[in-house]
Chain A
Amino acid sequence: MNSKTPNLTFKLVLLGDGRVGKTSLVLRYVNNVFSEKREATVQASYLTKRLVIEGVPITLAIWDTAGQERFHALGPIYYRDADAALLVYDIMDSDSFTRVRNWVKELQQMASKPIIMAIAANKSDLVRSKKFDLQDAESYATSIGARLFVTSAKLGTGIEEVFLDIATRALQKKKESAESFSPTPPRKGMLLVDDEPEKEPQMKCCS
């Protein structure tokens, strides 16, 4: 655990209804483990994951929050300065998708800056028939500038993809803002990047 190398850190918060599998997603991603019996998360727990994207070492600092509403009064301390949010719902439970919409509203109102979002339709392993319809979810995701991923923490499917998507977009955004502004001032509680590698501008988008 050597954290001495300066590293680009993005803060990611997981939000979603209780028991949709937020903790399981993170633990599958970070430790590659899965257990059916997980204690309910109380308030929030914290994990990190290191990865390299386009040669840039990145740390994802992940706050895995509790699903129960009672704990939401303190929610803002977790998402306030987050770079990204992963919204999770249970693919078999439409109520939990409604919660995702509510979270998105709250994020749009409360977060201190535009936040990168992705949606995970989790527990795809429980889908027995092919009859479930992702159309609505897909179009909703598109409408908020997010991508939808079908995941199963149990089987380990879709997990790498969703986190990679988030990290890639966070990095992209960072590069873009680094081009238009001088470095942003340090945020508390985060590893700081004082020597972010100088990159050639790679203008892929906006063509």
Chain B
Amino acid sequence: MKNDSNTREEEQRKESSSSDWRFNQTLRNVQGLLKGRSFPGKVLLTQKSEPLQECGSPVLSPIMEKSYSENDIGPDEHVDRSSEGKILSPGNTINKSNVGKLKSSGTNSENTSGDVQRSISGTRSTDSTRITKFTKELSGPTVILESLREVAWSGIPPYLRPTVWKLLLGYAPPNSDRREGVLKRKRLEYVDCVSQYYDIPDIERSDDEINMLRQIAVDCPRTVPDVTFFQQVEVQKSLERILYTWAIRHPASGYVQGINDLVTPFLIVFLSEHLEGSVENWTITDLSPLTISNIEADCYWCLSKFLDGMQDHYTFAQPGIQRLVFKLKELVRRIDEPVSRHMEEQGLEFLQFAFRWFNCLLIREIPFHLVTRLWDTYLAEGDALPEFLVYIYASFLLTWSDKLQKLEFQEMVMFLQHLPTHNWTHQELEMVLSRAYMWHTMFESSPSHLAG
């Protein structure tokens, strides 16, 4: 008995400290954004070369580079000069309205403001502190996943991403002694699957399987078409093998359009360990067949693990997605009644725009170079991801709260299907995530908010 209660207390303490941590992190971000200033820790901006560039450095790629430098340091006042004005001008009013909303929810922030002060001053020193944190989490004989999730939630340094993602997804085992062995076995298993399911003549496939393969073959060349890297035939072939093998092994859903998009972040991240420079200049044939095969296997397993938590998102009638879209609608109604009412009056159904968000997990809605950062948070959420998506997407939608209220049905649908995010940098994305986190914290503690 005593033991029990001790453990429970301990757990509670752990929990609260972890949530404090995340909350502080978020508040730091939010505060930085609200002031329209950069986040603390700007120091590192000018020294990207070190220590990030060890490890044959994917950091060189602009995608990765931006991702890291901005997400840990905050809005980047040096790197992205040219776009700053553009972003801020349309964003200004929006940010202001956000400020109001965040302030009105201020009880939370008051409680923790002490901590926040501490964290801010603590973080000034610190990107290296942050890297140290990651290194510490990763260096032990057994990685504590919960702690890793906490650090990873706010963004993972690009050069650590391949390792951290595999751990977060439960693909690589936390125990470092076993890691290489397990990965090796899994990679072989994938190769077997491919030869068993994919590398066979059509005559051995059922009609359904032939149709599925045809569908996949048709979709691979039109996956993320604006990133030229994906136009390379070998990349498309890899994608095809991954998707087909996954689909065969998940007959309840099979292949659903949009899942092709979901492989791309894994491909980019795992390839980043092996290819240098900008993604646009990568050539996959520079790699040995073995390396390609290993990366493919990693993508396959990570995709599988990732989708395990969302199985009913892609089964008949996609009930998982329908449920989340419904929740999103409810949450938006709670948070922003005027927008919600306006959308309803205009006859706009959430399914008409948000379905795609959930189906493709926002890959089509934001610039591709921000996707991996978004996925850091997705993967850090783990099993809680589907519920948390609702908060992220509410936050995403309400970025345009003011604008939406001015639109009629036709313009509104078209606006929502082509959101003006092309100039987005990490700043906007961090804002979306931070706000999602805050709302989640608020609403989670009083579930009745969502009751009805």
Contacts and interface: CB of A to CB of B under 8 A. Distances in A.
Contacts of B414: 46-48
Contact of A70 (B257, B348, B356, B360): B257
Interface stretch (A107-115, A187-195, A199-207): A187-195
B318 A37 contact: no
A188 B347 contact: yes
A19 interface: yes
B278 interface: no
Interface stretch (B221-229, B378-386, B419-427): B221-229
A139 interface: no
Contacts of A1: 411
Contacts of A150: none
Interface string A33-45: 0010111111111
Given A1-B411, A18-B218, A37-B221, A45 B417 contact: yes
A162 to B, nearest CB: 22
Interface in B200-256: 215, 218-219, 221-225, 231, 254, 256
Chain A interface mostly: loop
A66 interface: yes
Given A38-B222, A42-B356, A189-B409, A18 B215 contact: yes
A73 B318 contact: yes
B193 interface: no
A3 interface: yes
B218 A73 contact: no
Contact of A42 (B215, B231, B254, B360): B360
Chain B interface mostly: helix
A46 B417 contact: yes
A43 B356 contact: yes
Contacts of B417: 45-46
- What range describes how many residues of B lie at the interface? 35 or more
Nearest to A47: B414
B159 interface: no
B225 A39 contact: yes
B160 interface: no
Given A46-B413, A74-B351, A37 B256 contact: no
Interface string A11-53: 0000000110000000000000001011111111111100000
B439 interface: no
Nearest to B414: A46
Interface in A70-129: 70-71, 73-74, 77
Given A37-B221, A39-B223, A43-B355, A190 B257 contact: no
B317 interface: yes
A68 interface: yes
A40 B214 CA distance: 14
Contact of B355 (A3, A74, A189, A190): A74
Nearest to B416: A46
B15 interface: no
A1 B408 CA distance: 11
B349 interface: yes
B258 A191 contact: no
A188 B257 CA distance: 29
A70 B222 contact: no
A61 B348 CA distance: 14
A70 B252 CA distance: 12
Given A73-B318, A191-B409, A39 B218 contact: no
Interface string B398-412: 000000000011110
B257 A42 contact: yes
B257 A46 contact: no
Contacts of B316: 70, 73
- Most B CB contacts (10 A, CB to CB) among A44, A46, A59 go to A46
B411 A3 contact: yes
Contacts of A38: 222, 225
Given A190-B409, A191-B409, A70 B346 contact: no
Contacts of A46: 352, 410, 413-414, 417
A70 B318 contact: yes
- Most B CB contacts (10 A, CB to CB) among A3, A43, A44 go to A43
A202 B242 CA distance: 60
B314 interface: yes
The 8 A-B residue pairs with the shortest CB-CB distance in the complex, in nearest-first order: A189-B347, A188-B347, A73-B317, A37-B225, A46-B413, A40-B257, A42-B356, A43-B355
Given A19-B218, A189-B349, 4 more contacts: A18-B257, A70-B314, A70-B318, A189-B348
Interface of B: 215, 218-219, 221-225, 231, 254, 256-258, 260-261, 314, 316-318, 346-349, 351-352, 355-356, 359-360, 364, 408-411, 413-414, 417
Interface of A: 1, 3, 18-19, 35, 37-48, 59, 61, 66, 68, 70-71, 73-74, 77, 188-191
5 contacts: A40-B257, A41-B257, A46-B410, A74-B351, A191-B408
